Amino acid sequence: MTVYLGLDIGGTSAKFGLVDESGTVIDRNRFPVKAHQRGADDIIDEAIEQLGSMITRNDAGSDVAGLAIGAAGWILPGQGVVVAAPNLPGWNHVALGPRLSKALDLPVKMENDANLFTLGEWLCGAGQGLNYLAGVTLGTGVGGGLILDGRLYNGPFGTSAEVGHMVVEPNGRKCKCGSYGCLETLASATAMTITGRELLEQGHATSYAGRIEDLTSKVLFDLADQDDPLALEVFNRAGKALGIALTSIFNLLGLEGAVIGGGAGAAFKHMYESMFDEFSKRVFVVDPQKVRIVQSALRDDAPLAGAPALFR
């Protein structure tokens, strides 16, 4: 049986797994990255060791056809190089792909993590059956991937579909990229925390009685589940920004659907109404009732499930 390894490296943790050709995850694990404390070499050594033991544990040695790596940041997919990654400090021009390929004696393909997420959802998740699809990950930042005509679209420079840096509010918050009012400044988990604290300072109605610095996106998820008005307003605003960004994406490309994931994508149900309201009021080229805009079905498994698609 042919299987693939998937590895998704983020600033907090690295998730990895063994995946069959249909995208089903057979075995999965994770290890803490703590990129602010550990150097790239240390993390890469641990990845080699952990992936090696997963192969041994599953007795999969000769069956593994390749390793697919997803990494956040600016990467060169063809060369397997991380040029720079805001959530992986010190990773400048790191030849991650070639190093893992040599150590594990496997063909390696690398992609932006949001691209790998989109491939996974397209192959066997919420985007299955759609040949024109956008993937959006709402996490520490906001990432994106595009499937066009049944293929991942990379653009001529290997960098495209940076949905997080589409401008939604021209005079909005400053973004890490240098621009203002990018989707990432309005709909990432980081942005949700900022909005929540701003509303708290402004005296917005809420049942939250803790310290302002303890109000995180995770706390906001829990509060929204209890119908807290402040938390619901945070997701209302994030959903609105997402709806505006999706309008531009669909108007530009005439897609069949979009899958929303990432850590903060877990609050999709609280964002859905304002997102869809904004989208259906504004969108021009597609019938909002006929396109599929849904939450990720695979969650953390999505980037791993994308591994076989990367080798097709």
183 binds Zn ion (CB under 5 A): no
Q: How many residues bind Zn ion (CB under 5 A)?
A: 5
182, 189, 244, 304: residue in contact with Zn ion (rule CB under 5 A): 182
Query: Coil, helix or strand for 99?
Result: helix
Applying CB under 5 A, the span of 104-112, 169-177, 193-201, 208-216 interacting with Zn ion comes to 169-177
Nearest approach in angstroms of CB 238 to Zn ion is 15
179 binds Zn ion (CB under 5 A): yes
- CB contact at 8 A, 124 and 23: yes
In residues, how long is the chain? 312
245 binds Zn ion (CB under 5 A): no
Please give the full DSSP string across 1-33, using - where no structure is assigned.
Answer: --EEEEEEE-SSEEEEEEEETTS-EEEEEEEE-
78: left (phi over 0), alpha (psi -120 to 50) or beta: alpha
186 binds Zn ion (CB under 5 A): no
Give me the torsion for CA of 196, 171, 166, 256, rounded to 10°: 80
Nearest approach in angstroms of CB 278 to Zn ion is 20
Applying CB under 5 A, the span of 112-120, 134-142, 159-167, 247-255 interacting with Zn ion comes to 159-167
- CB contact at 8 A, 303 and 117: yes
- CB contact at 8 A, 277 and 87: no
Q: Taking the CA of residue 230 as centre, how many other CA atoms within 13 Å lie in the half-sphere pointing to its CB?
A: 26
Applying CB under 5 A, the span of 38-46, 75-83, 164-172, 284-292 interacting with Zn ion comes to 164-172
218 binds Zn ion (CB under 5 A): no
CA dihedral over 305, 125, 162, 152, signed as positive or negative: positive
- From CA 232, how far away is CA 263, in angstroms rounded? 17
Please give the full DSSP string across 247-276, using - where no structure is assigned.
Answer: HHHHHHH--SEEEEESGGGGGHHHHHHHHH
28, 30, 38, 165: residue in contact with Zn ion (rule CB under 5 A): 165
Interaction pattern, residues 115-154, with Zn ion; x per rule: CB under 5 A: ----------------------------------------
204 binds Zn ion (CB under 5 A): no
Joined together, the tokens standing for residue 35 give 């990129």
Nearest approach in angstroms of CB 185 to Zn ion is 7
In the bound state with Zn ion, the residue whose beta carbon lies nearer, of 156 and 178, is: 178
Nearest approach in angstroms of CB 179 to Zn ion is 5
- CB contact at 8 A, 54 and 16: yes
Enumerate residues 28-67 that contact Zn ion by CB under 5 A: none
Pairing of strands 74-76, 133-138: unpaired
26, 177, 200, 219: residue in contact with Zn ion (rule CB under 5 A): 177
In the bound state with Zn ion, the residue whose beta carbon lies nearer, of 165 and 292, is: 165
75, 88, 175, 241: residue in contact with Zn ion (rule CB under 5 A): 175
Nearest approach in angstroms of CB 159 to Zn ion is 13
Nearest approach in angstroms of CB 191 to Zn ion is 11
Nearest approach in angstroms of CB 174 to Zn ion is 9
167 binds Zn ion (CB under 5 A): no
Q: Which residues bind Zn ion (CB under 5 A)?
A: 165, 175, 177, 179, 182
